Amino acid sequence: MTLEIIVLAAGQGTRMKSHLPKVLHPVGGKPMLMHVLDSAASLSPEKIHVVTGFRSEEIQNSVAHYAPDYLSTIAWVHQEKQLGTGHAVMQAMPAVNPNAHCLILYGDVPLVDRQVLSAIAKLDASLVLLTSKPEDCEGMGRILRDEENRVTGIIEQKDASDAQKQIEEINTGIMMCKGRDLSNWLNHLGNNNSQGEYYLTDVVEMAVFDQKPVEAVVAADSARFAGVNSKLDLATAERTYQKSQAVELMNGGVTLLDPDRIDIRGNASFGQDCCVDVNVILEGEVSIGSGVVIEPNCIIRNSQIGDYTRILANTLIEDAVVGQRCQIGPFARLRPDTKLLDEVRIGNFVEIKNSEFGNSSKANHLAYVGDSSVGSNVNIGAGVITCNYDGANKHKTTIGDDVFVGSDSQLVAPVTIESGATIGAGATITKNVQKNDLAISRAKQVAIKNWERPKKK
């Protein structure tokens, strides 16, 4: 059975009160539309027709930015005037194979359950509806059934009677039709309703009139099929998404000390026996090894963390690679292109940028190391700075193995500290230091006897 998918993404979303197209508002760190397209692509359709209207170019550029491997299957359709869901689908139908089954999804329903969609796509009815029974039906179209419980139509709340508003089964909007049937029904749509719009839901009544089989699939989890129309809806969708991510992690063996207080905004993988404390944010592509402990309030972005490493509280790691059995933090910052080998210790208020640390090296507190190569078994004391920027260009600092850099020293790049060298505390190093040498750069200490402090007059 050939499958084609239409995704409706033309609305401005006035209730979002934003210049950003509604479908580009993020859930879990990526636009809602990308969640829908990923789900659509998982069904391996022949084509995905995306209907846009408001800021079409911006939407297309956003999808291209993510460069999904199914990009070539997307066909863009422009809806000049937003005259309802039925009108939106009409714009795509000329390019749809009439012999295909056509699944209709929505760009503002980001959390669709792929297993449910897969089950719908395998059905062979002329029309399949996805319905649900949420706790709050306000604003939703109600499913009309006859005495034998067969679907007879859908009534929008704006047009519903008081009795119909008491119906608890609602329309999610998601449906699948045979292409030829759908084209025929759309050609007979009218806009004789309170909104003056062409409702896609009217095709249900047409299918019943034509005695075409209508099958309703009731979604067990209505939250996965809720539309996002406001910032409140967006926040609700975000929590629903994060809860599902947390459950997936815990099912995979990760210990979350509070599943309600973790945010995954991308793709995160974990080894075994990991423990994550509260308020941790994982963004982009994050790979965590086995036995890793992440303390509260940490942010890890596009990084790899090796086995048995411990990340202490309030640490930020971005575009970095951390080896095994390291300890980072608290209050540490690893900036892009940082690479730490095994058993490295980076302590509180230490910032590392574009630098590599060899095995068992450490910078335990209050230091900045940028554009540097640091060997193994190096100790960098408190207050040490690599002065890598001359106001125009960045320069490199090279530190060999077994080097000791005393506290409050400045290494003015470009400079090389060879293996085994020692830098005395408070030194300003502007020249290379040879192997095993001691380098000292400080003013002679002077004592003034019986000196009196100034007194306030």
Output the furthest CA–CA distance in the chain (Å, rounded).
109
Judge whether 365 counts as a catalytic residue.
yes
Cα distance between residue 292 and residue 290, in whole Å: 6
Give the SS3 label for residue 337. coil
- The tokens for 50 are 């995306």
**Bridge partners, residue 353, by sequence:** 370
Asked if residues 113 and 217 have their Cβ atoms less than 8 Å apart, the reply is no
Chain mean position to CA 265: 3
Half-sphere exposure of 314 (CA within 13 A, CB side): 6
The two beta strands, 127-132 and 47-52, are: unpaired
Place of tokens 């025929």: 184
Q: Which amino acid is at 358?
A: G
Asked if residues 371 and 397 have their Cβ atoms less than 8 Å apart, the reply is yes
User: For residues 261-292, b (16+ Cβ closer than 10 Å) or e, as one string?
Assistant: bbbbbeebebbeebebbebbbbbeebbbbebb
Cα distance between residue 384 and residue 406, in whole Å: 8
Catalytic annotation, pick one of 25, 101, 365, 395: 365
Q: Which long-range contacts (CB under 8 A, 24 or more apart) does 332-336 make?
A: 334/303, 335/370
Place of tokens 């099912």: 251
What are the start-end ranges of the E strands in 68-212? 74-78, 101-106, 127-132, 142-145, 151-155, 170-178
- The tokens for 364 are 């335990």
Q: Which amino acid is at 322?
A: V
Torsion angles phi and psi, residue 115, rounded to 5: -65, -40
Count of CB atoms situated within 10 Å of the CB of 61: 11
Cα distance between residue 276 and residue 26, in whole Å: 24
Name the residues annotated as catalytic.
Answer: 365
